[in-house]
């Protein structure tokens, strides 16, 4: 499973990318607003921090506007993936970008039929928003299972990028459901490393090692 960070915090990204376990980054207009920085500037910096896909979302809602903004964003760096909303206009733009060889991430996906349309439009990635479905009492992970089944039935190439992830449990469940990628807030990524028994076990190992008085070097 590819793990992406859902953030525009380049300081945090730089630290976590150093683990070698960050495969890419996703952003959205809310995260860009949070950064307080010009979008092209922060996307360019992010693209220099990771080798993998960096999703940058258009703000236009009409086809021509999306195409113009998407081409501008794609020109920032080779690893930019243009993010488009799952609307009729967004899917028309997705299909055009597929013809132009520009990678796309169709976002704000909340149903399996929506995901099927994104795949038919030639999306590189589709982003089902797991957490926001849970927030309204629906089963976000079930959507990932359903999309996986449909994509496998018809050999769609579009990659499932599980998004709106709220916990390590979500990551585990998305992986079991067969998502190709998961995009996580930095805090969730850091939580993936942790288990109380790991910390307790290491403490015991170090304590017992100290008693030997030995040094490996």
Chain residues binding ligand G3P by CB under 6 A are: 6, 26, 28, 127, 129, 131-132, 163-164, 183
* Min dist. Cβ of residue 106 to ligand G3P (A): 12
Task: Tell me how far, at minimum, the Cβ of 38 lies from ligand G3P, in Å.
Answer: 19
User: How far apart are CB 132 and ligand G3P at their closest, in Å?
Assistant: 5
Task: List for the chain the helix, strand, coil content (%; round to 5).
Answer: 55, 20, 30
The answer to whether residue 83 is catalytic is yes
d(CA 12, CA 2): 19
| H or E stretch at 196 | helix 196-212
Length of the chain in terms of residues written: 217
Closer by beta carbon to ligand G3P, 31 or else 206: 31
Nearest-approach distance from CB 126 to ligand G3P, in angstroms: 12
From CA 66, how far away is CA 89, in angstroms rounded? 8
Distances (CA, A) of 9 to 13, 26, 31, 41, 80: 6, 11, 9, 13, 17
Nearer to ligand G3P, 120 or 132 (CB): 132
Which residue number, 72 or 132, has a Cβ lying nearer to ligand G3P? 132
Rg of the chain on CA atoms, in Å: 19
Catalytic-role residue among 34, 83, 194, 211: 83
From the list 122, 180, 201, the residue with the least C-alpha distance to 1 is 180
Choice between 53 and 199, CB closer to ligand G3P: 53
Active site residues per annotation: 83
């Amino acid at each position: 499973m590819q793990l992406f960070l859902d953030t525009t915090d380049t300081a945090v990204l730089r630290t976590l990318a150093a683990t070698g376990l960050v495969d890419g980054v996703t952003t959205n207009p809310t995260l860009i607003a949070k950064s307080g920085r010009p979008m092209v500037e922060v996307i360019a910096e992010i693209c220099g921090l990771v080798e993998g896909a960096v999703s940058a979302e258009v703000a236009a809602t009409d086809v021509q506007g999306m195409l113009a903004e998407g081409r501008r964003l794609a020109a920032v760096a080779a690893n930019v993936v243009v993010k488009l909303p799952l609307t009729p206009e967004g899917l028309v733009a997705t299909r055009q970008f597929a013809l132009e060889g520009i990678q796309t991430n169709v976002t704000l996906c909340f149903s399996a039929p929506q995901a099927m349309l994104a795949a038919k439009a030639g999306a590189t990635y589709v982003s089902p928003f797991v957490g926001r479905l849970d927030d309204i009492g629906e089963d976000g992970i079930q959507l990932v299972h359903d999309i996986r089944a449909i994509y496998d039935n018809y050999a769609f190439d579009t990659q499932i990028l599980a998004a709106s992830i709220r916990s390590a449990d979500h990551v585990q469940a998305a992986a079991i459901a067969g998502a190709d990628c998961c995009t996580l807030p930095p805090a969730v990524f850091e939580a993936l490393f942790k288990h109380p028994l790991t910390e307790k076990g290491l403490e015991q190992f170090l304590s017992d090692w100290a008693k030997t008085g030995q040094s490996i070097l």
